[in-house]
Structure 1
Amino acid sequence: MEEISKVQRNYQGDIISFQTSSGRIISYRKAVLEASEGLLQGVTLNENEWGESELSSLSVEDGTFNDYPSIF
C-alpha cells in the first residue's frame, strides 16, 4: 500500500498535490478519494468546519504535513 512521501504547496502554503511512495503525483482531491477507499496508508480523513474532508498525517503528532519534503 502506498504512503504520502512529499507535498507540493501553492504560493499561499496550501497543499495542492502529493507524491506517493511509488512516485505517483496525485492531487489533494485524488488523495482524499484514495484515502477514503483505503488505498493510502498513514493518513486519516477528518471533516473540517465546512463539512469537507481533509487529510491528516498519522506519522506526526500534530497531524500536519509540515515536515514532509517538497516535491520540487
Structure 2
Amino acid sequence: MATTSIQVDDKALAAAADSLGMALVPKSDVEDLRRLRNAEQRREIARQLRDAKRALETDELAEYTQLTRDDIARGDLFA
C-alpha cells in the first residue's frame, strides 16, 4: 500500500483552522492542559469525597441526636 505525504505550510494550516473556527495549539500546550485537567479532576474527586464524608458524619449525628431525643421523650435519659 502506497502512502501519500502532503506538506502544508503553517500559514495555510492556520488559515484553514481559522476558517473552521478552530485554533491550533502547540502540542506542549495540549499536554500542559491535559495535566491541568487531570489535576483539577483529582481535586474535584477529593472535594466530593470530603463532602460525602461530611454528609455521612452529619447524617450519623442527626440519627444519634434523634435517638437521644426519643430516649429523653420516653424518659430513658441513660439509654
**TM-score of the alignment, normalized to the shorter chain, above 0.5:** no
* Larger RCO, structure (CA 8 Å, separation 6 or more): 1
Q: TM-score, normalised by structure 2?
A: 0.18
Q: From the two aligned structures, give the one with the greater helix fraction.
A: 2
Q: Highest CA radius of gyration, 1 or 2?
A: 2
Q: TM-score, normalised by structure 1?
A: 0.19
